[in-house]
Structure 1
Amino acid sequence: MRLHLHPDVVTTDTDDGTVLLDERTGRYWQLNTTGAHVLHRLLDGHDPVRIAADVTDRHKIDAHQAERDVTAVIEQLRTAELVIA
């Protein structure tokens, strides 16, 4: 699954994660460092299952929880129309 930012969405990385600005609506979205990691990996074309494995390794959490968390980030980004396939 290769996702791309919507053309009207710009991002800025911060010490605490990533901020996304939807220029269509003027709304800002903030991702913590883990959410930012998920977003960047998705934009680089990585598979959500592999991203979840990375999150599991980095944070020493349950693999099923990491998969649910990665799926939740993807769904929230899609629902907000910040990314497109």
Structure 2
Amino acid sequence: MALRFAADISTAQTDYGTVLLDERSGQYWELNPTATLIVEVLLAGKDEAAATDAVVAEFDIDRERAQQDVTQLIAELRVSGLAA
């Protein structure tokens, strides 16, 4: 499933990943390089399987762990209200 950030979320790329700013609360979130890759794939309209494939291809991680990371990140972004 593709991902989109809420309208009040600003993003900035850093040397260490991505920073998200929730303009409603003033809270910052920092995404590490793995989370940044996952978000980039999902924001491009691709699904969780494509994000998992990208993580496996980019990092030294097995597919099962990559899938868990993708699922957990999506859940955390949605629960926090950052993404839909």
Q: Deviations over 1:25-54 (max 9, x none)?
A: 010000011111111111111111111111
Give secondary structure in 2 for the equivalent of 1:6. coil
Q: Does 1:8 align with 2:8?
A: yes
Runs of 4+ in 1 over 3 A off after TM superposition: none
Considering fraction of residues, name the structure with more strand.
1
TM-score when scaled to structure 1?
0.93
* Structure 2, gaps ≥5 residues long: none
- Report percent identity of matched pairs: 42
RMSD of aligned residue pairs (Cα, Å): 0.8
1:52-71 aligned within 5 A: 52-71=52-71
What is residue 37 of structure 1 aligned with on the other side? 37
Structure 1 gap segments, 5+ residues each: none
